[in-house]
Chain A
């Protein structure tokens, strides 16, 4: 354990003195923040309404069936809420009248839609300048948030693989692997120590990302197990690239090749019809996307997660068998 921790602590110490490693460690969180900033714009397709406490609960329930509804303490809080970045309309009830308060830069149809919803509560119909119809297309959250989040979480594991690549390249560049090979640390402990950051950084990065993106209600058990399984494949690829490269630029360039199967699997899963998904079954990243997507939607079951993890581990095992000699040779 002492030797294992020594390897991890060395890598952390060395990593904190390398800007590229620092960037890779926080890249997922930075991307999540950028995505988070973009989400309100995309959420414009959904209607958000705020009421003041004490408003007729039947009215709130009626609006809630068409929009996302929030309740604040008083009018000042309502005005403050409306002024934030996202599009929110405020409703004040004054006698028999409804007063809609808006910031002024909202998407036009939202105000009209809200008027329509409020009038239907009173059993009145109004002539709208646009056609309004309500249907449920199944989106509970913004597609950017869901798909961007899934993609980001899978890429977080690739970043973990890149960290391993850079740490191994450092060992290769300075020929310190020879010194390690004549010290009493077993190769297994050394590999586990080197691989530990490849698990830790993706776990921290992906949990941070889901919190930033507002997926706090997911099943974290399923989520962490899935991230660990996906990280396995990135780590093995990271080792195989790291041990044969003597300088970081060529190593990162090689690691970028991994982006191709990752992106192909995820976009394939997003855009291909279900009947064509079988052509992606070879890719562990497809199964990873399948799990993460369902977990973020809170639709995943343990059975689905465990079966997908089993498939990922199986495919990773095959990749490991193919790369085993290359890794062992490179570590000598």
Chain B
């Protein structure tokens, strides 16, 4: 669905590249997470893939369209949800969606159903200018679903939302994933990426450090640990034991045979820990 080869981009039209020769491919139906801290090149890459930024150097194919000669009708297949909500404040929620609906040449979803999906149906006829930040964000999000896109670009879809609404958004993305929609997810929220993505790419300083599935990354870079809460001399103690280190395994066996165990569970490395391990940088 997306093929990127040796993509470079400079905002100053010189050698100061914001994106430095990155390459990747995304298959149809895949949810691909593009992870990195602010200024890593995520938005630049998404900008090029969505045609908001010009393709300067490299080859990019999106939904079957060569981005060197992109055509407007490609946007009938694509949906883009922006990080910053961008709606017409003087129009109501339903008027916003109905305006964009008229711009598509393909079958579109009933705007009221989309508003129901994110709980905005009760304020459908209120001006978007009176909405809270979260409501505007939800309106921006569902607008990107109007044309039932085959390829869906989501830029920080849950940033700034309260946990309940963020969960609602995640469930919608999961539903679209189940329906076969390809998703390009740009985020610095590793938990969401872990939950939603088939594969993730770690990008930092305009360069992709690695691409793999969250599971493979955890297996490759995460240390397998067992965390045990047990009682020693009437005192509650928590210990971590490596499942690879023989000394740790012996200690764990001793506790299992002789100790008073209250809780015991395995602990995987998080994507965030792996990101820091791979890139040497945090995500904020």
Contact = CB atoms under 8 A, between A and B. Distances in A.
Interface of A: 2-3, 6, 9-10, 13-14, 17-18, 170, 174-176, 178-186, 332
A14 B72 contact: no
30 contacts: A6-B99, A6-B102, A13-B91, A13-B95, A14-B90, A14-B91, A17-B90, A17-B127, A18-B90, A170-B88, A170-B89, A170-B90, A174-B86, A174-B87, A175-B84, A176-B86, A178-B82, A179-B100, A181-B51, A181-B52, A182-B75, A183-B75, A184-B74, A184-B75, A184-B76, A184-B103, A184-B105, A185-B103, A186-B72, A332-B52
A6 B103 contact: yes
A225 to B, nearest CB: 31
Contacts of A186: 72
A2 B232 CA distance: 77
A183 B102 CA distance: 10
Nearest to A2: B102
B104 interface: yes
A176 B103 contact: no
B104 A184 contact: yes
Given A6-B99, A13-B91, 20 more contacts: A3-B102, A3-B103, A17-B127, A170-B89, A174-B86, A174-B87, A175-B82, A176-B86, A178-B86, A179-B86, A179-B143, A181-B52, A182-B51, A182-B52, A183-B75, A183-B100, A184-B73, A184-B105, A185-B103, A332-B52
Interface string B46-59: 00001110000000
A262 B210 CA distance: 61
A69 to B, nearest CB: 54
A26 to B, nearest CB: 19
Nearest to B127: A17
Contacts of B140: 179
Interface of B: 50-52, 72-76, 78, 80, 82, 84, 86-91, 95, 99-100, 102-105, 127, 140, 143
Classify the secondary structure of A's interface with B: helix
Contacts of A332: 52
Contacts of B95: 13
Contacts of B87: 174, 176
A184 B73 CA distance: 5
Given A182-B80, A184-B75, A175 B105 contact: no
Nearest to B75: A184
B91 A178 contact: no
Nearest to B105: A184
Contacts of B91: 10, 13-14
Contacts of B127: 17
A174 B90 CA distance: 10
B143 to A, nearest CB: 7
B72 A10 contact: no
A332 B74 CA distance: 17
B183 to A, nearest CB: 15
5 nearest A-B pairs in the assembled complex, by CB-CB distance: A6-B102, A175-B86, A184-B75, A182-B80, A183-B103
A179 B51 contact: no
A176 B95 CA distance: 14
A308 B86 CA distance: 43
B248 to A, nearest CB: 52
B276 to A, nearest CB: 32
Pick from B75, B86, B89, B140 the residue with the most CB of A within 10 Å: B86
A3 B103 CA distance: 5
A181 B140 CA distance: 14
A9 B90 CA distance: 13
Contacts of B74: 184
B72 A185 contact: yes
Contacts of B100: 179, 183
Contact of B88 (A2, A174, A178): A174
Contacts of A17: 90, 127
Pick from A9, A10, A332 the residue with the most CB of B within 10 Å: A10
Contacts of A3: 102-103
A184 B106 CA distance: 10
Nearest to A182: B80
B67 to A, nearest CB: 13
A9 B51 CA distance: 26
A182 B88 contact: no
A88 to B, nearest CB: 49
A11 B270 CA distance: 49
B88 A176 contact: yes
A173 to B, nearest CB: 8
A178 B85 CA distance: 11
Nearest to A18: B90
A182 B50 contact: yes
Nearest to A186: B72
A10 B102 CA distance: 11
Pick from A3, A176, A184 the residue with the most CB of B within 10 Å: A184
Contacts of A170: 88-90
Nearest to A10: B99
Contacts of A185: 72, 103
